[in-house]
Amino acid sequence: MDILVIGGGGREHAICWALAKSPRVNHIYCAPGNAGIGQLAELVPIQVGEFERLTAFAEEKRVGLVVVGPDDPLADGIVDAFEAKSIPVFGPRKNAAHIEGSKTFMKDLLKKYSIPTAAYEKFDNYEEALKYLQSQPVPIVIKADGLAAGKGVTVAFTREQAEQALQDIMVSKVFGSSGAQVVIEEFMEGQEMSILAFVDGETVCAMPAAQDHKQVFDGDQGPNTGGMGTYSPLPHIDDAIIQEAVETIVKPTAKAMVAEDRPFRGVLFAGLMITPDGKSKAIEFNARFGDPETQVVLPRLKSDLLEVFLAAVNGTLDQIELEWSKQSAVCVVLASPGYPSSYPKGLPITGLDQTGEEALVFHAGTARNEEGEWQTSGGRVLGVVGLGDSIAEAREKAYAAARQIEFEGKHMRTDIAAKALK
């Protein structure tokens, strides 16, 4: 069958790459895609928010399945739009994608169903939020309610930082309407991990855990980004802790969504904190594959990804047994100078043909000029993935390949997966 993948980042490149391995996949379209994705899929010049054009294209090409990558179109109801045309689509409907689209909804859901999460209060009035904030200890966490491209969360270590974050969100409106409400949350110490799961109602098929590196600089310093690198599995975290998180957080959340008449179908992404006592608490939920977690999880999937997607869409996910490679995967993100703030575009990229067969290179923000030369076109430019029999081996391969690629001001963290080696 022919497939339409919606999105244009590193996550979508990894999804297209994994789908291309399925013997049942005939042709892959990607809208809008990027230059790297164009090496294995036909790029379609339609943006992710153009629902009418996307559904018309899918009808015209008679695609057998649509796969939605990014959060914004899911929150805006793209799955509902395809379902209205009876086009098979993998992803949650608008009312289920609300678990990512509104942090206040998500926190209230967890509280109602006694699912472990940090203590919090929510506000839609700046003065009331400021008054509450001034009564709380620091560090403290300030979150814009809506989607903010992964940048709407501030972990404030001083009162000044906290008040500035609140002002930025609610007064200066740096995230627009996403900041109409805020969540002020207790600071949790511990180790973060991400668990992605294929979900169809109450059926949950968890993927291997991964760990993201959000801050832009080594040692988890600097502002939050969309993610500077990931690795999977997590050899330094006990399997029992990971399994307990699935049983006490991921599965009860899927069940709660069914109880709320918002059954979730697609990929449910749990961002978790493992507290010093070894218990997990939910930090956030996303309604889709994580980026760059996808780039380390899908290369470890031995099962046919198309079969998994179709099972979720057809309500037969409970009949699927996922098979995973024992290999480790490490992804190092190469970012433009200045990211996550403003950054230049159009910088020439060299060395993409020098990475060898030891690494996978997923394109996130690349383009090609008229001469066919590679250029930067985004903040996160490339995700370089090494695979190996251990985290150490995978990490070595990822960094060796990453060093072959050059563009002016290239920035990467040098400590991705270092926590797993201690």
Long-range CB contacts for residues 146-150, cutoff 8 Å, separation at least 24:
146/101, 146/102, 146/103, 146/175, 146/177, 146/178, 146/179, 146/180, 146/181, 147/71, 147/72, 147/75, 147/100, 147/101, 147/178, 148/175, 148/178, 148/179, 149/226, 150/214, 150/224, 150/225, 150/226, 150/227
CA gap 306, 1 in Å, rounded: 10
Q: Are 32 and 47 in contact (CB under 8 A)?
A: yes
CA gap 9, 69 in Å, rounded: 9
Phi, psi of 110 (to 5 degrees): -65, -40
pTM: 0.94
Which CATH architecture is the domain 191-319 placed in? 2-Layer Sandwich (3.30)
CA gap 62, 2 in Å, rounded: 8
The domain made up of 2-95 is a member of CATH 3.40.640.10: no
CA gap 229, 211 in Å, rounded: 8
**Nearest CA-CA partner of 410 in 330, 355, 347, 340:** 347
Beta-carbon contacts of residue 135 (< 8 Å; ≥ 6 apart): none
**Nearest CA-CA partner of 69 in 7, 13, 16:** 7
Paired tokens of 368: 């090609």
Please tell me the predicted confidence (pLDDT) of residue 150: 67
Please tell me the predicted confidence (pLDDT) of residue 12: 98
Per-residue pLDDT for the chain (422 aa), expressed as one digit of tens each?
Answer: 999 999 999 999 999 999 999 999 999 999 999 999 999 999 999 999 999 999 999 999 999 999 999 999 999 999 999 999 999 999 999 999 999 999 999 999 999 999 999 999 999 999 999 999 999 999 999 999 888 776 788 889 999 999 999 999 999 998 998 888 999 999 999 999 999 999 999 999 999 999 999 999 999 999 888 899 999 999 999 999 999 999 999 999 999 999 999 999 999 999 999 999 889 999 999 999 999 999 999 999 999 999 999 999 999 999 999 999 999 999 999 999 999 999 999 999 999 998 888 799 999 999 999 999 999 999 999 999 999 999 999 999 999 999 999 999 999 999 999 999 97
Beta bridge partners of 358: none
Fold exhibited by the domain 328-421: Glycinamide Ribonucleotide Synthetase; Chain A, domain 4 (3.90.600)
Domain limits, the chain: 2-95, 125-180, 191-319, 328-421
Q: Which CATH number applies to 125-180?
A: 3.30.1490.20
